[in-house]
Chain A
Amino acid sequence: MALVPLSYNLRSLAVRWSATLLTVFGIGATVAVLAGVLALQQGFETLFTESGREDVVVFLRQGSTNEGDSVFTLERSQILTKGLDEAELGADGQPLIAGEMYLAVRRFKIDGGETNVPIRGVSQRSFDIYGDGVRMVDGRRLTGGADEVVVGSKLVERIRDCQIGATLLLNTTPFQVVGVFESDGPFSSEIWGDRDRIGEALERPIMNRVVAILKPGTDIEALKARMDEDPQVPSKVMTEKEYLTSQTEALSFVLRGLGFFLAVVMGTAAVFTATNTMLAALSSRTYEIGILLAIGYRPYSIFLSFLFEALVLGLAGGAVGCLLALPLNGVDTGAMNFQTFTEVAFAFRVTPQVMVTAVVFALILGLVGGTWPALRAASMRPTEAMRRA
């Protein structure tokens, strides 16, 4: 069976360039919105999941879902940090395990408004555990026992009093900002200080979580089961990767839901538009269709030909949409981590996955929008079609 040459469709699109352009940009705008929402979700999710390590474990109080909820008394955290045989030993021969305090504190944004910034009370042990995961990029490290803090690099430009030399007031105690650190994960939106000093300033003599590096080959599942029933400090154990992934669930769910809702609603509108364009193309080309049929092309070929034209519109729309969304890549934004109610800074990520989704979505729009007009074209009778013009 002979197919209508594809160049026929391409040239038809070129001849009706204004309608083609408007349709392509219409689909493009729809696709760009979807791609933008997906890029936001990807950026947020990558920040959390890709920085999580498999050999680091997080201990939370049973029943809690995040470190904001979780509480260990100092006594319990001591028992944990002293008695975990699975913990890897550091260069100093001591186990790599540390209690950390965590609290979302109210801070003012530089460009106005309030937000919640996580403050983490740490000891030198935490730095040993995270190693290269936390790198000083400016100023100096924390001095143990001093009223000092170091701030994550993403805070410097966004949050007031988070610049080297500034004084950060916590409850009634002033803390000096002495350094800036960088991290690939959500730590870069946090303030870190000496846990004893911060605990005292905030009147919070507690730990919120315990982190540890496990000896290679440790059976994590066995550890989880044991700690779940531990008589002294029953706790919930997760790898850092599992923990961070669980933190993205709420926002990812919202963003995915929003993306899906927009895809359906805006997609419907875009399909109508595509159908319209194709119908208009059809009515002005009735005569041509008559000729194609008269010289022997089968209705099936006509159907495929018009469907192809719609797909080209979709593909071009998808490409335009991706191009429109691409400048978003790397743009910093902030979003609320609903689990801890704190704001995390991250960048939009227009990943290949986002682009593929966008293009596939655009092709589906073209396909669905083109089917009915293509069917109509295929069902024309040559004599009528030529006469109607």
Chain B
Amino acid sequence: MVPLRLVSKNLLKHKLRFVLTVLSLAVAIFLLCVLRSLVVALNAGVADAAANRVIVQSKVSLFVLMPQSYGPKLAQVNGVEALVRWNWFGGYYKEQANFFAQFATDPKELFDVYPEIYLVEGTKEDFLANQKSCLIGAETAAKYGFEIGDTVPIISPLYPKSDGGAWDYQVAGLYRSKKKSLDENTLFFHYDYLEKSLEEGVAMGPKDVGIFVLRIAPGAQPVDVMSEVDAMFENGPQAVQATSESEFQAQFVSMVGNVPLLVSSIGGGVMIAILLAVLNTMLMSAREQTRDIGVLKALGFTDGSVFGILILQAFVLCGLGGALGILLAKLTEPSVVASIGSMFPGYQVTGPTILEAVAATVAIGFLAGIAPALRARSLTVINALRAVR
């Protein structure tokens, strides 16, 4: 039997020390959650990718475009139901620091190929009707204060205006996505508007297409579509690579390089630092309790209950710290999204992350509690009572 009151009494004996230990644990678990969530966010696009979409891009480079003539040819491929063009615009709002993604795309087809997109403000009809209009991710709009009807000036080094000015887009809608496969921090505008401006000489830049996204008909095999597309342009003029959406997203994760490794190393460092700290606290308080342990054993408490008291102290301490850390991570979610959401779209402290944090907490509690608890169990009454502090 473990006297539970004794556990709480022991923990609260040094209140400040107790609070500080819980807080440092909370900070560490908070940090683990944040770091883990960043990695999860990086991979979110892969996890949420749709199976019925095929991405066609240049085989050579992300920065090489494909001729417009590929579009109609791709639409002819067996099993292709719908097709949407995307062109990276690479611009910024007022200053270069104000960066978010902009794409020229086919407005109607965007909705056909990406059923996960939905408008939280404005209407699809307004967007379709006005060639100079755009859709903006709700988060991005909130960050910069864009509202329906506003004109958003964008300067693009890739597509400079002949007069040196900015491109103006009227906000027709604020969108969100039901899945992480579509970024929520983007500005979408009419491909036709871009094309028209280039043809009229209002702006300069390449007329070709960045990527084509194909929607595959139910029953058709994406693999067949991909190999047919690859073979179709094998001899140029631009060789292409057709991939599933998840491969396409994974490609970006791979390009970011060692970030997951870096983040895990940092997480490892945090774990070690905090384990040492908690272990320290537990050892210190166990040493101070040596005499109490002697008294308990003299009164007839078994080795098992003494062991239980000490290990429970460690678990309670870590449990509190861990819970606080997880809570903190969850509470700061919106502010993290606001500050670095454009670099880590889809940042979220997910259920699995929380489970991992709980596991880390329990592990720290166990590792920090086991040594003092074992020592207390094996202490003889006489040695414990004789102990000098």
> What is the interface of chain A, defined by CB distance below 8 A to chain B?
18-19, 22-23, 25-27, 29-30, 32-33, 36-37, 40, 61, 63-65, 68-69, 103-106, 109, 112-116, 170-172, 202-204, 254, 262, 265-266, 268-270, 272-273, 275-277, 279-280, 283-284, 333-336, 341, 343
C-beta contact mask, B227-261 vs A, less than 8 Å → 1, else 0? Answer: 00000001111110000000000010011111000
B160 at the interface (CB under 8 A from A): yes
Is the Cβ of B258 less than 8 Å from the Cβ of A335? yes
Chain A residues within 8 Å of B129, by CB: none
Q: Report how far A331 CA is from B21 CA in the complex, Å.
A: 35
How far is A210 from B344 in the complex, measured between Cα atoms in Å? 35
Interface residue stretch chosen among B56-64, B78-86, B358-366: B56-64
- Bound CA span A114–B16, Å: 51
The answer to whether the Cβ of B23 comes within 8 Å of any Cβ in the partner chain is: yes
Interface size of B by CB at 8 A reads 54
B192-248 interface with A by 8 A CB criterion: 234-239
Query: Inside 8 A of A336's CB, which chain B residues have their CB?
Result: 255-257
Query: Are B27 and A266 in touch, CB under 8 angstroms?
Result: yes
Q: A65 contacts B157, CB within 8 Å?
A: yes
B272 interface residue (CB < 8 Å to A): yes
Are B237 and A22 within 8 A (Cβ)? no
Known interface pairs A19-B283, A26-B280, A335-B258; A68-B63 also in contact (CB < 8 Å): yes
Q: A334-B257, A341-B255 are in contact. Are A265 and B61 (CB under 8 A)?
A: no
Query: Are A63 and B157 CB-contacts (below 8 A) given A25-B276, A29-B273?
Result: yes
Kindly report which residue of chain B lies nearest to residue A343, judged by CB atoms. Answer: B257
Q: Is the Cβ of B90 less than 8 Å from the Cβ of A22?
A: no
Selected A-B contacts with CB under 8 Å, 28 pairs: A22-B277, A23-B277, A27-B273, A29-B270, A29-B273, A33-B269, A33-B273, A37-B266, A63-B155, A103-B64, A106-B60, A106-B251, A116-B61, A116-B62, A171-B60, A172-B239, A204-B64, A265-B27, A269-B28, A273-B20, A273-B277, A276-B21, A276-B284, A279-B14, A279-B20, A334-B257, A334-B258, A336-B257
Chain A residue nearest to B285 (CB atoms) is A280
Whether B120 sits at the interface, judged by CB under 8 Å, is no
Contact partners of A270 in chain B: CB under 8 A: 24, 273, 277
**Smallest distance from the beta carbon of B218 to chain A beta carbons, Å?**
30
Is B61's CB under 8 angstroms from A106's CB? yes
Q: Within 8 Å of chain A (Cβ to Cβ): is B17? A: yes
Distance from A61 Cβ to chain B, minimum over Cβ atoms (Å): 8
Residue of A nearest to B251 (CB): A114
Within 8 A of A (CB), among B90-144: 90, 96
Taking A276-B21, A333-B258 as contacts, is the C-beta distance between A29 and B269 under 8 angstroms? Answer: yes
Do the beta carbons of A171 and B283 come within 8 Å of each other? no
Whether B62 and A268, one on each chain, are in contact in the complex, defined by CB atoms closer than 8 angstroms, is no
- Tell me which residues from 14 to 40 in chain B have a Cβ below 8 Å from any Cβ of chain A: 14, 16-17, 20-21, 23-25, 27-28, 30-31
Least CB distance from A255 to B in Å reads 9
Chain A nearest CB, measured from B372 CB (Å): 11
State how many angstroms separate the Cβ of B326 from the closest Cβ of chain A.
Answer: 15
Contact of B31 among A37, A109, A266 (CB under 8 A): A266
